[in-house]
Amino acid sequence: MSEHIKRGIALEGGGAKGSYQLGVMQAIHEIGVPYEGVVGASIGAINGAMIAMQDLKLMEDVWLGTEVGDIINGDKELLAKLVKLDFKEDADKLRQLVIDTIKQGGLDVSPYRAYLRRIVDEEKIRSSNIEYGLVTLSLTDLKPIERFVDGIEPGMLIDYIIASANFPAFKLEKINNKVFLDGGFFDNLPVNMLIERGYDEVIAIRIMGMGRIRKVKKEDADKVVTIIPSEDLGKTLEIDPKRAAYNMKLGYYDAYRYFKKLKGKVYYITEVWSEDDVFNRLANLPNHLTTQLMNTMDVQQPPRRFIFETLLPTLCDVLKLSRDAAYGEIFLAFYEALAEEAGIERLTFYTLETLIEAVNAHYSKEALELTRTLDGLSIHLLNFIKNTGIALIWSKQRRQFLEYILYLLLQSDVSTERQMISNLPKGNQ
């Protein structure tokens, strides 16, 4: 019988970037990863409250239904430009808005605080089987406050949540005659709260917010697993439903990558070929392909030696992989690089085969044009790869080198292609 693992979730503060955490939580629930507690700072405390209420639907409605005007009092259009730091237009009005904001002591977020009081159900959190905690900082007492719900006076939970999310740009409000600052000033990712509470494992969901993060003791480091966004999540106050929807989707796929051990650095690959299979496909590349590549690179070697001693090391350099990378890793990175260059949809699940199909479908439409992009300068530079090193080759030529290899693959006859890559579409006639 397996030993029970007490698992908790720590949510980092970071304002509007917090929508990413919802996507991660949706994946955690879908996959079935159990957890017994959740703690957070700032927006992490707000998200954590809804997670403790066990209401991800409410959390989704909040993120997809909230705009900057629902959070901050003032001219919605000007505020939207201000939080995005877009000063190209209405510069005078924006300047005056900044001056007025400074005079009143910060942005007026009374609508946001009123909204929190409507949606957060203290009784539901207190009776939940998901333990809830938060962190804030008392400016009046100059001391941090880390509390679980059982240490907060009845009727005061929402006040503490508001205190935890008292972002420096917001107009400060007192609670019981004390001024509180955003929890990120003390610990923006309160992993230690859970460890000190006796949790065996902590899933830390980063959103790369501004703030201090307390170090975890060395002896506790192996208790923490961290999910980090694979893309920039935008600006801290960029409160926009479209941006939130994208960040949620990103969080969902990043969580799946972690928990399901998906392959790929850019795309989310559920199935790949075995090393033996990739080796055999590489070893059986058609002779005309290797001959053309050797001519391009000014190399004279037996075909198989060229593939494994020259082509693959060069591909590793182009793709910024270690030269001892596995064959499957090189093969996947090759198609990922081409897919990214082609703008093929990233946030979806692929097998290696379906990713190859998507890449080939895109590039086969313009197969003839691919060689035309290899102008005289490109060929000249490629000829000196073996002597000068790939580091001296411009990014444009790196990309063209990959496209050139794909072009040769697409020009292979159908029978050879089928031996090499299943379902590879026939190239230009």
Q: Which residue has the tokens 């920039």?
A: 232
* DSSP category for residue 383: H
- CA 160 from chain centre, in angstroms, equals 29
What pairing do the DSSP bridges indicate for beta strands 201-205 and 37-41? Answer: unpaired
Instruction: Specify whether the CB–CB gap between 310 and 301 falls below 8 A.
Output: yes
Q: At 145, is the secondary structure helix, strand, or coil?
A: strand
- Is-contact 136 149, C-beta < 8 A? no
Q: How many CB atoms lie within 10 A of CB 21?
A: 31
Instruction: Write the secondary structure of 1-36 as one string of H (helix), E (strand) and C (coil).
Output: CCCCCCEEEEECCCHHHHHHHHHHHHHHHHHCCCCC
Q: What is the DSSP letter of 230?
A: S
Kind plus residue range of the DSSP H or E element containing 417: helix 414-420
200 burial (CB, 10 Å; 0-12 / 13-18 / 19+) is middle
- Calculate the alpha carbon distances from 411 to 143, 379, 416, 423 in Å: 69, 19, 10, 14
- Residues 143, 228, 21: CA angle, nearest 5 degrees: 70
User: How far is it between the farthest Cα atoms of the chain?
Assistant: 82
Beta bridge partners of 146: 135
Residue with tokens 């908790």: 8
DSSP state of 177: T
Residue owning tokens 């000007």: 78
Distance CA(294)–CA(288), nearest Å, equals: 10
Do the bridges between strand 131-138 and strand 37-41 make them parallel or antiparallel, or are there none, so unpaired? parallel
List the one residue out of 267, 296, 278, 282 whose CA is nearest residue 354.
Answer: 267
Catalytic residues: 42, 182
Strand partners of residue 41:
135
End-to-end CA distance of the chain: 62
Containing 50, the helix (H) or strand (E) segment is: helix 43-52
